[in-house]
Structure 1
Amino acid sequence: MRRAKLNATDILTTLNEESEIDDFSGDDSDFDTTWQPFPKKNAGQSDLSGSDSDEDQDTLTNNEGNNNNNFDVSLNTNNIEVPTQTSTQSTPNIGWSQMPFLGVPLPEFNGPQNCIELGSPISYVEKYLPDLHFEEAALYTNMYAFSTKGKEFRATANEIKVFYGAQALMGIIKYPRFFMYWQRGIALDLISSAITRDRFLAIRTHLHFVDVNNRLPNNKSKFWKVQPLIEFVRNACRNIPRSIGLYSIDEQMVPFTGRCPHRQFVKNKPRPAGLKNFVITTTTGMVLDFELYQGIETPFEDRSLGLGPAVILHLSKTIPKESVLFFDRYFTTVPLMNRLNEIGIYATGTIMQNRLKNVHFSNDKKFERGVWEEFTRADQKLTAIKWKDSKCVTMVSTTTGAEPHQIVKRWSKTENKEINVPCPAVVVSYNKNMGGVDLCNQQIEAYRTWFKSKKWTVKVAIHFIDLAIVNAWMEYKEDATKMQIPKKNIKDLMEFKINIAKEWLSTPINNKRPNEDENSIDANEEPPNKV
């Protein structure tokens, strides 16, 4: 027998009749207006009902199911008992309104307080690159050379120092071609008398910081080949004394255009291709901590708010409470500002406007130059300001509002002259204190050790050696200033780096080098690079 077909009339007739579907109409909790999720502990979410990001909504949804066992539901005359919400983070419907933000005064960064005497330049650099580093580098360089060549390389810790010194001096005195540092008639005596060209190239080819044939199984770092050097530099940065003050977090590029794990391309950077390094600095550019980005393997403890907030939470662990952080829109979200508020750290940052829900600014076309709008949250813990200069910029802050505003000079294309433009206080504060990482990058770039190499390990190593020298100089300069040494007697970065290079180049080398490795290198070509 063929199955009967239902036409539209039959279907409508069936739906109008009583069925079992009606018996389940009240069982779906989505339609239960009395149901409320249990408050989440340490959630760090925004107090706004609709201003959190999509990530936060997902987190809340996942926790709703997990919290069902935390309270009892009893049925008495069809009433559902819900536990009292005691968490202030769960207070609903805290909205935004156009009102001034009270804010808090910014602290002053005082830097290290205990400076008894000013050390020599090399004593500052040795904090970052101690003798143990050079001994390990010599050991693993010899092991790698023997495993690839089958011959003893016999590099020593002192010879690695000489190699570093030559690299440092090459960053200051730049020749257009590498071999010219040893070319007769124009050779740079400080380098050519300390190490031969062929030995220099041989060390650079075989330079290693770990045993590449015995990688630890629990070491998941993508940059494990240079991890010991990175750890020496990072630990020295973390040991710098710090007080309540102003700090900035931004990206730093380790330039490299070859093949490398997690090489990035960041447009609008002076050197857009390379490894991405997240850095926290003081407003003067001194590096306090950093983390090389390596994708999912990057050791961020808390990724619940997304990658950008994870960077901020990771790098802000070592700064004191009541300090103020500055960062750009890559990192800024409302849940991040709430989380920082919870742990006692203030923050200011630019933000993408689509991350500000329930804040209804006027359209960009309605803004004239120097005009701003300010929305403050009802709990007076966060403000959002949109201001137009040449373009509109949106900022959020837990410290500074629009007032007292200042007058800044800007060039007007229409009037062909400088004009006075009103500027909110939060923008002035951000522009003044955000540039710490850029200052560090400028100092590194001024005397960067630059050469061509296909080995990312060498490029990363030289970058962090340059960073160590720059940071050591900043420590030296800060100590000299605190000791009230006249500015003319304080070494600038070039003089400081030359002093370090001379110190390393003057290190005595006592080993007898095998001639086979040196003679195997062509006079005008670099040796083949092997990772």
Structure 2
Amino acid sequence: MDSDNVRHMDTKTLSRKRPRAAVAILPQDPLESEVEDLSDSEDDDLEYIPKPGDLEDESPSKLTTGDASPYPKTAESPKRKKRKSRNTGSAINTNSGEIEDFLSMLLYMGVFEFPTFVDYWHSDSRFPPVADAMSVRRFQSLRSFLHFNDNMQNNHSPDRFYKIRPLFNMLRQQCLLIQPTNRQSIAEVMVAYKGTKAGNLHHYKSNQHDKFGFRLFCRGSSKGIIHDLLLYQGDTTFLNSGLDEDEQNPLLGTKVVTTLCTSIAEPEATVVFCDNYLISLDLVKSLQARLGVRCIGTVRANCTGGATAMDDKDLAKLGRGAYDYCSQEGVIAVRWLDKKSVSILSNACGIEPLGYVRRFCRETHQKIDITCPSVMSAYIQAKEGIDLSDMLVRLYKTPMKARRWYLPLFGYILDLCIANGWLMYKRDCNLLKEKPVHLKRFRLSVAGTLKVVNKLPARVGQPSVPPNPQKTPKRLHNPRALQPTTDVRYDCLGHWPIFGEQRGRCNLCVKGVSRWKCSKCGDGKLFLCLNNKQQCFVCYHQK
């Protein structure tokens, strides 16, 4: 070959790499969710369904190579668009048992936090409770395909939380079944999220622990158990709240408190505590008139309804712990001086009996007792419930950092279920005068139970040496049925007695013979469970 021809030859023709084709892609639909990859690279959208016009637009004339561009020459260059995902062509093929293993792994990850998900399977940092449940590829696949609603059934619903709404409604129905106390508090909770995929559903609150995230309004007891929740989404929050037209008050706090109070089982015997962001004089009167609910809460100066009381300068002259009050139409307004003055409205409690609270004094550098009205003492004790629940949820958080905005809400729901379950367990232990376990041990116990709920444990005493395949194994005359754990067997969910063909003996009555066995593990010799009671079906002896 001539050297002059090689010198003037285009270098692109000597390269083995094929030039990239610039393909015009449709802009991303904001309603579609994105599937995040656990690696650093951007993933594809598995919810993308090509439209009939999409394939026609990608004609060969528009797919150019080299320096040619499919876009018209304009003053501004087009924005770089994200590419859509390709369909995998295979089903996920999961079941309820695998989803329980997946939830168990998430609960373990909330206690033992690693920098990345892959570290749980890496040889240098392998964590057996997670790595033995399933492979990292299967975990990534389940997490990528995790959805809670069908996007094709949206039908342009005004509900902006439709992606997480079925799971949220399920949680709310279970929370409403918990027996409430007569002291309920309503407050705002933030679910941490710093992404940009949620649009204006993601808010900023400077006075919260998690300043960026989703806004929720919760109603809970003074012990921290959450009984009702409300997702805030702007103007469409109260579309299906059941409020009448005359109840549609323009104030956000009035609508929030009224909506959460409609689900109270015994409103006449319930007192609701709110902070100054939600309460007003009109709200206190309307709750008692329409629902029969009494209310106590701190109030701002412009929401007292014109109540006259001593100003801050006059209270400061009387010293710390001074108070003043006035009443009107069954509602009392109290102004109390702590470090600074606090105003409170109440139609359920008054001033007396006076109590004392301990505060730190800067002059003496010691804690002193100052006078406190009864209504203020009741408010301080009741408002600790929502703060306690929020602290327990943030103590062991499920790792759900993702580009899909609704996955942090799923992690919050999972953590809230654990917090509510632990508080109910702690309440029952106090009634039985037993010492409860720590929240961490309780969460690990739930994770371990989910891991073995549909599986039989391995036999104890298996030989470490692998058996000889040429040797025929000995057949046991009476092979022992594998037993599940006690928490799984006596949870009144699946292990129910059924009538069998073979007879078995009860452990308590040696002479008694029964044909009853367990419907799941098939055990007919041991003690069975009925209605959460261990009972023999021959002698009807209960343990």
Q: Contact between 1:145 and 1:151, CA under 8 Å: does it hold in 2? A: no
Displacement of 1:189 = 0.2
Q: Which amino acid aligns with 2:440?
A: M
Q: Deviations over 1:365-399 (max 9, x none)?
A: 2322211111111x3x1000111111111000011
1:251-400 counterparts in 2 under 5 A? Answer: 251-259=188-196, 260-261=198-199, 262-299=201-238, 300=241, 301=243, 302-304=247-249, 306-319=251-264, 320=266, 321-342=268-289, 343-368=291-316, 369-377=320-328, 379=329, 381-400=330-349
Structure 2 counterpart of 1:202: 141
Structure 1 counterpart of 2:52: none
CA distance in 2, matches of 1:401, 1:293: 33
Q: Contact between 1:305 and 1:336, CA under 8 Å: does it hold in 2? A: no
User: Does residue 430 in structure 1 map to residue 379 in structure 2?
Assistant: yes
CA distance in 1, matches of 2:437, 2:358: 34
Range that drifts further, 253-262 or 150-159: 150-159
Q: Which amino acid aligns with 2:325?
A: E
After superposition, the Cα gap between the structure-2 partners of 1:431 and 1:148, relative to the gap in structure 1 and judged at 3 Å, is farther
CA distance in 2, matches of 1:177, 1:404: 56
RMSD of the TM alignment (CA)? 2.2
After superposition, the Cα gap between the structure-2 partners of 1:446 and 1:145, relative to the gap in structure 1 and judged at 3 Å, is farther
Q: Contact between 1:212 and 1:225, CA under 8 Å: does it hold in 2? A: yes
Structure 1 counterpart of 2:160: 222
Q: Which amino acid aligns with 2:188?
A: E
Displacement of 1:272 = 1.4
Displacement of 1:313 = 0.9
Range that drifts further, 466-475 or 312-321: 466-475
Unmatched segments (≥5 aa) in structure 2: 1-45, 50-85, 456-543
Structure 2 counterpart of 1:20: none
Structure 2 counterpart of 1:520: none
User: Does residue 504 in structure 1 map to residue 504 in structure 2?
Assistant: no
Q: Contact between 1:325 and 1:345, CA under 8 Å: does it hold in 2? A: yes
1:368-517 counterparts in 2 under 5 A? Answer: 368=316, 369-377=320-328, 379=329, 381-482=330-431, 484=432, 486-488=433-435, 490-506=436-452
Q: Deviations over 1:79-129 (max 9, x none)?
A: xxxxxxxxxxxxxxxxxxxxxxxxxxxxxxxxxxxxxxxxxxxxxxxxxxx
Q: Which amino acid aligns with 1:501?
A: A
Q: Give the TM-score normalised by structure 1.
A: 0.64
Q: Which has the higher helix share?
A: 1
Structure 1 counterpart of 2:106: 167
Q: Percent identity?
A: 26
Structure 2 counterpart of 1:242: 180
Displacement of 1:418 = 2.1
Q: Deviations over 1:443-466 (max 9, x none)?
A: 111111134322112111111111
CA distance in 1, matches of 2:301, 2:326: 13
Q: Contact between 1:252 and 1:279, CA under 8 Å: does it hold in 2? A: yes
Q: Deviations over 1:3-24 (max 9, x none)?
A: xxxxxxxxxxxxxxxxxxxxxx
Secondary structure at 1:428 match in 2: helix
Which gives a bigger RCO, structure 1 or 2 (Cα 8 Å, sep 6+)? Answer: 1
Q: Which amino acid aligns with 1:498?
A: L
Q: Contact between 2:400 and 2:411, CA under 8 Å: does it hold in 1? A: no
Displacement of 1:508 = 6.1
Q: Contact between 2:281 and 2:305, CA under 8 Å: does it hold in 1? A: no
After superposition, the Cα gap between the structure-2 partners of 1:508 and 1:359, relative to the gap in structure 1 and judged at 3 Å, is closer
Q: Which amino acid aligns with 1:446?
A: L
Q: How many residues align structurally?
A: 361
1:173-212 counterparts in 2 under 5 A? Answer: 173-212=112-151
Q: Contact between 1:383 and 1:397, CA under 8 Å: does it hold in 2? A: yes
CA distance in 2, matches of 1:333, 1:270: 25
1:57-72 counterparts in 2 under 5 A? Answer: none
Q: Deviations over 1:226-254 (max 9, x none)?
A: 111111111101122335x1110111111
Q: Deviations over 1:494-530 (max 9, x none)?
A: 2221111112233669xxxxxxxxxxxxxxxxxxxxx
After superposition, the Cα gap between the structure-2 partners of 1:188 and 1:149, relative to the gap in structure 1 and judged at 3 Å, is same
After superposition, the Cα gap between the structure-2 partners of 1:145 and 1:449, relative to the gap in structure 1 and judged at 3 Å, is farther
Displacement of 1:151 = 2.9
CA distance in 1, matches of 2:179, 2:366: 46
Q: Contact between 2:299 and 2:345, CA under 8 Å: does it hold in 1? A: yes
Q: Which amino acid aligns with 1:225?
A: K
Secondary structure at 1:251 match in 2: strand
Q: Which amino acid aligns with 2:444?
A: I
Q: Deviations over 1:302-340 (max 9, x none)?
A: 322521011111111122122101010111111100011
Secondary structure at 1:224 match in 2: coil
Displacement of 1:423 = 1.3
